[in-house]
């Protein structure tokens, strides 16, 4: 059972408590509990709306290539936060640290991770990445 009141003090931290089935009223705000709670995008921690899908025949354009795994994580976060669909190429095969024991030496020839977005969104993606002040490569 969940409290449907978005103004409930329990909902202010972004996570709502789940109550037992025998509890009928929220102990925080005295609102009647419901068995199913629709996601509320205004509450921190709720799932964001789904990103637009990439059509099967849609043209894709490279907006960034990097060998820096930290930068790749930041780029993913920026594109996800903007709700921008993207594909990556090379991240599943990237292993900069190779050796008999994983991490024993650095391989600077590791393949870069490539970020591709639909061509219609490439300009916006580049502006987003430029505004984020990612470190210059080189």
pTM assigned to the model? 0.53
The SS3 assignment for 56 reads: coil
The yes-or-no verdict on residue 61 having pLDDT over 90 is yes
Q: How much of the chain exceeds pLDDT 70, in percent?
A: 70
* Burial letters 94-123, b for 16+ CB under 10 A, else e: beeeeeeeeeeeeeeebebbbbbbbeebbe
Q: Are strands 87-89 and 113-118 parallel, antiparallel or unpaired?
A: antiparallel
The yes-or-no verdict on residue 41 having pLDDT over 70 is no
**49 confidence band (pLDDT: 50, 70, 90):** low
Q: What are φ and ψ of residue 62, in 5° steps?
A: -75, 130
């Amino acid at each position: 059972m969940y409290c449907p009141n978005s103004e409930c003090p329990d909902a202010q931290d972004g996570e709502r408590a789940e109550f037992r089935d025998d509890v009928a009223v929220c102990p925080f705000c005295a609102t009647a509990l419901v068995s199913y709670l629709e996601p509320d995008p205004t509450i921190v921690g709720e799932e964001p709306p789904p990103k637009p899908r990439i059509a099967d025949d849609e043209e894709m354009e490279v907006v960034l290539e990097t060998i820096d795994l930290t930068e790749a994580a930041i780029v993913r976060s920026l594109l996800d936060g903007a709700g921008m669909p993207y594909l990556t190429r090379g991240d599943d095969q990237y292993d900069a640290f190779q050796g008999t024991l994983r991490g024993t030496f650095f391989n600077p020839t590791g393949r870069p991770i490539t970020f591709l977005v639909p061509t219609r969104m490439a300009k916006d993606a580049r502006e987003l990445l430029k505004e984020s002040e990612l470190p210059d490569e080189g």
